[in-house]
Structure 1
């Protein structure tokens, strides 16, 4: 099961919306994922414990993750399920987990 965190500036509205969109896409792709949401500040401190961090493309520079396991994925359109799906598939393909 993938551990995923959705982050936004304050950890309230946008991250909750991203979480719902990500959850919908993972279910569509039949991929088990545990998804949380938080502010970027909280996510920076917790990111190393997750497989994937989703946030606005403008916020990806806030993450300086030392491990090679965690992938930070920036979204241009936070509401685009198509963009989220594309980026999840790219992540899985790079991890060797794509079908």
Structure 2
């Protein structure tokens, strides 16, 4: 599964999200190819990914993305693997 982690500047937060996502996908035994970048870049790249993960405050940036192809996950707490797992299970796996 191709996942893109996006944050405002493409540096710190997206790198943290990337590490947390990697842990969750490994736990769920989901194959993963993951990248991270700034939200401005992610907006144009989103359709090339299965999932985009960002802060809830950045969700509006992806409102025009075809969500039947690319799932958009907004996080309240970027450090919470529990929240990431819950949303991956619900949005990606449909559990």
TM-score by length of 2: 0.94
Q: Segments of 4+ in structure 1 off by > 6 A?
A: none
- Mapped contact 2:71–2:92 kept (Cα < 8 A): no
Q: Aligned pair 1:31/2:30, yes or no? A: yes
Q: Which runs of 5+ in 2 are unaligned?
A: none
RMSD, aligned α-carbons = 1.2
Deviation sequence 1:56-98 (CA, Å, 0-9, x none)? 001000112136210111000000000000001012333xxx6
Name stretches of at least 5 consecutive residues in structure 1 with no aligned partner.
none
**Residue matched to 1:73:** 73
TM-score between the two structures when normalised by the length of structure 1: 0.90
Matched with 2:9 is 10
